[in-house]
Chain A
Amino acid sequence: MRTRATTAMIRLALLLAAILVAGHAHAEHLIVSVSNHRVTVTPNYSGEELVLFGSIERERDAPLPPAGYDLVVTVSGPPVDMVTRRKARWFGIWVNADSRQFLQVPAYLAVFANRPLERIAAPDILRRRQLGLNNVLLTQRVGSDYADVVPSDPFRRAFIRLRSEHGLYRENTSAVTFLTPTLFRASIPLPAEVPTGTYTIDIKLLAGGALIAKTDTAFEIVKVGFEQFVATAARQHGMAYGVATALMALTAGWMASIVFRRD
Chain B
Amino acid sequence: MPRLEVHAAKAPPVSSQIRKRTRVQLYLPIADIPVNVLLILAMGAAVGFVSGMFGIGGGFLMTPLLIFVGIAPAVAVATVTSHIAASSFSGALSYWRKRAIDPMLALVLLSGGIIGTILGVLTFTRLRSLGQLDLLIALSYLVLLSGVGAAMSWEGLRAMLRARQSRTVPLRRSGGHGWVHGLPLKIRFKRSKIYLSAIPVIAIGLLIGFIGAVMGIGGGFILVPLLIYLLRVPTSTVIGTSMMLTLITMTFATVLHAATNHLVDAVLALILMTGGVTGAQFGARAGQRIRGEHLRLLLGLLILAVGIRFAIELGIRPADLYTVRETTGDT
Residues of chain A whose beta carbon lies under 8 Å from any beta carbon of chain B: 35, 41-47, 49, 51, 80-89, 92-96, 101, 107, 155, 158-159, 161-163, 167, 170, 175, 179-180, 183, 185, 187, 189-193, 195-196, 223, 226-228, 230-231, 234-235, 238-239, 241-246, 248-250, 252-257, 260-261, 263
Contacts and interface: CB of A to CB of B under 8 A. Distances in A.
Given A82-B327, A162-B324, A245-B82, A46 B27 contact: yes
A228 B87 CA distance: 28
Interface of B: 5, 7, 9, 11-12, 14-15, 17-18, 21, 23, 25-27, 29-30, 32-34, 70, 82-83, 85-94, 97, 132, 134-135, 251, 254-260, 262-267, 269-270, 273-274, 276-278, 280-282, 313-318, 320-327, 331
A227 B29 contact: yes
A262 to B, nearest CB: 8
Query: Ordered nearest first, which 3 A-B pairs have the shortest CB separation?
Result: A242-B258, A253-B89, A256-B277
Given A242-B258, A253-B277, A80 B325 contact: no
Given A87-B321, A93-B315, A234 B266 contact: yes
Given A85-B322, A162-B323, A246-B254, A253 B86 contact: yes
A175 B135 contact: no
B315 A256 contact: no
Nearest to A238: B259
Nearest to A180: B5
A179 B266 CA distance: 47
B322 A158 contact: yes
Contacts of A179: 5, 7
A239 B321 CA distance: 39
A187 B32 contact: no
Contact of B18 (A47, A88, A183, A223): A47
B25 to A, nearest CB: 5
A187 B97 CA distance: 61
B278 A187 contact: no
Given A193-B70, A246-B254, 7 more contacts: A47-B18, A86-B321, A183-B5, A183-B7, A185-B11, A246-B251, A260-B282
A239 B258 contact: yes
B135 A51 contact: no
Contact of A83 (B7, B254, B277, B325): B325
B88 A253 contact: yes
A83 B264 contact: no
Given A49-B14, A49-B15, A241-B266, A249 B27 contact: no
Main secondary structure of the interface of A (DSSP, over half): mixed
Nearest to B14: A187
Nearest to B6: A179
Most buried by A among B29, B134, B322: B322
A39 to B, nearest CB: 12
A213 B276 CA distance: 58
Given A35-B9, A245-B266, A249-B82, A43 B26 contact: yes
A192 B27 contact: yes
Contacts of B269: 245, 248-249
B255 A189 contact: no
27 contacts: A41-B27, A43-B27, A45-B34, A46-B25, A46-B27, A81-B331, A83-B325, A83-B326, A86-B322, A87-B323, A95-B314, A96-B134, A107-B326, A179-B7, A187-B14, A192-B33, A234-B30, A235-B262, A248-B269, A250-B86, A252-B273, A253-B92, A253-B277, A255-B277, A256-B90, A260-B281, A261-B94
A191 B262 contact: no
Given A93-B314, A101-B327, A238-B259, A249 B14 contact: no
